[in-house]
Amino acid sequence: MAPKNDGSAKKVMNKGAWTEEEDQKLSQYIEIHGAKRWTTVAVKAGLNRCGKSCRLRWLNYLRPNIKRGNISDAEEDLILRLHKLLGNRWSLIAGRLPGRTDNEIKNYWNSHLSKKINHKEKALEVTTSKETMPEKLLDIVQGDIEDAKEIGNSKANFDANGLFDFSAADASHGLEWVDKLLGSYSLESVDNFLELEEDPWITDNR
């Protein structure tokens, strides 16, 4: 349908795939003025896009030091471990994988890893573990760290084999912090872990 042109209609924004020209405009503007106030960026860069769209494009594709594709075994292993810890908190997971974006990890999870997990879980259902763990860690594994803070100590079921799956032991380089965290399961550790280093290209400049 053609857009209204009675003066009262909002300006119709571009949607869909970005063109090379749009990418250039956005990159050039941010290089000079920085990535702040996305609606302003969109307007001043001469892009007929909404601020949200510009932000997404910059963070996922144009930002420097972005890695694209070829997720290594070590990265995959890390994603799996972090997902066990954090659940679908893609931005947090991405924060621990330099150069990777939440969108890429989310896509990778949905297209690759979730299938692997389902496969594995079905196999594990046959041999459900009855080991115990502190309830706090159980909640963390379920991706509910915030709520876990308010829960007292008690027993709960724990599938330690699933959590500490070191079958790819030699792929754990750089994962010591994960092992340490899982080994100690202190909430302080989780909180410290969640306080990520600032990336100047991501940090909100509001």
Partner DNA sequence: AAATTCATCAACCGCCAGTCA
Partner DNA sequence: CTGACTGGCGGTTGATGAATT
- Which of 120, 122, 160, 117 lies closest to 141, judged by CA? 160
Q: How far is the CB of 153 from DNA (least distance, A)?
A: 27
Q: Are 77 and 68 in contact (CB under 8 A)?
A: no
Return d(Cα 78, Cα 25) in angstroms, integer.
35
Helix (H) or strand (E) holding 124: helix 114-125
Which CB, 16 or 200, lies closer to DNA? Answer: 16
Which CB, 106 or 172, lies closer to DNA? Answer: 106
Q: Which 10-29 residues touch DNA, going by CB under 7 A?
A: 14-18
Number of residues near DNA (by CB under 7 A) = 36
For DNA, which stretch binds (CB under 7 A), given 24-32, 49-57, 165-173, 182-190? 49-57
Residue 57 is encoded by which pair of tokens? 């494009």
Count, residues in the chain:
206
Q: Which 111-130 residues touch DNA, going by CB under 7 A?
A: 111-112
Return d(Cα 23, Cα 158) in angstroms, integer.
48
Binding site for DNA (CB under 7 A): 14-18, 36-40, 51-53, 55-57, 60-61, 68-69, 88-92, 102-104, 106-108, 110-112, 204, 206
